[in-house]
């Protein structure tokens, strides 16, 4: 599944594409700008439990409480991770930028996989 050349406003805490067990699919995010719609809930843009998350081109993910990086505030737990599960996350090329200030949540929430976990940044690619 691929999303390309888009500006997305996400309002669902399980992501743009929800890939959960037992299904397995790779998700490709290329040349995107993703923001959250609400300032305190439903902000996690990516959930992929078993497939690969592939980031290509120029991507920006803004996961911001109150839509302001400089004014963090209380927000719901488990609603502001950048990537949930994500057993394989790879920045293939280009630049991927994460702007996150969700007070309770971490960028990668890789719970209970029973698989190896990989965060790979290919030569020439950047994760900021």
Domain ranges of the chain: 2-123
Q: Is 50 helix (H, G, I), strand (E, B) or coil?
A: coil
pLDDT score, position 7: 96
Has residue 112 got a pLDDT over 70? Answer: no
Q: What is the DSSP letter of 59?
A: E
Mean pLDDT of the chain: 89
Has residue 70 got a pLDDT over 90? Answer: no
At 113, the pLDDT band (50, 70, 90 cuts) reads low
Cα separation, 40 vs 30, in Å, equals 26
What's the length of the chain? 128
What mean pLDDT is predicted for residues 66-84?
83
Question: Positive or negative, the Cα torsion across 27, 64, 112, 91?
Answer: positive
pLDDT score, position 89: 95
How is residue 36 written in tokens? 């959250």
């Amino acid at each position: 599944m691929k999303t390309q050349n888009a500006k997305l406003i996400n309002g669902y805490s399980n992501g743009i594409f929800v890939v959960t067990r037992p299904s397995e699919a790779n998700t490709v995010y290329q040349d995107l700008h993703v923001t959250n719609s609400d300032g305190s809930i439903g902000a996690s843009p990516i959930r992929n439990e078993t497939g690969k998350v592939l980031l290509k081109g120029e991507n920006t993910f803004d996961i911001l409480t109150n839509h302001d990086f400089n004014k963090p505030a209380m927000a719901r737990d488990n609603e502001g991770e950048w990537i949930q599960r994500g057993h394989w996350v790879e920045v293939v090329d280009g630049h991927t930028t994460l702007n996150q200030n969700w007070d309770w949540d971490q960028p990668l929430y890789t719970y209970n996989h029973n698989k190896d976990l990989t965060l790979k940044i290919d030569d020439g690619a950047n994760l900021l």
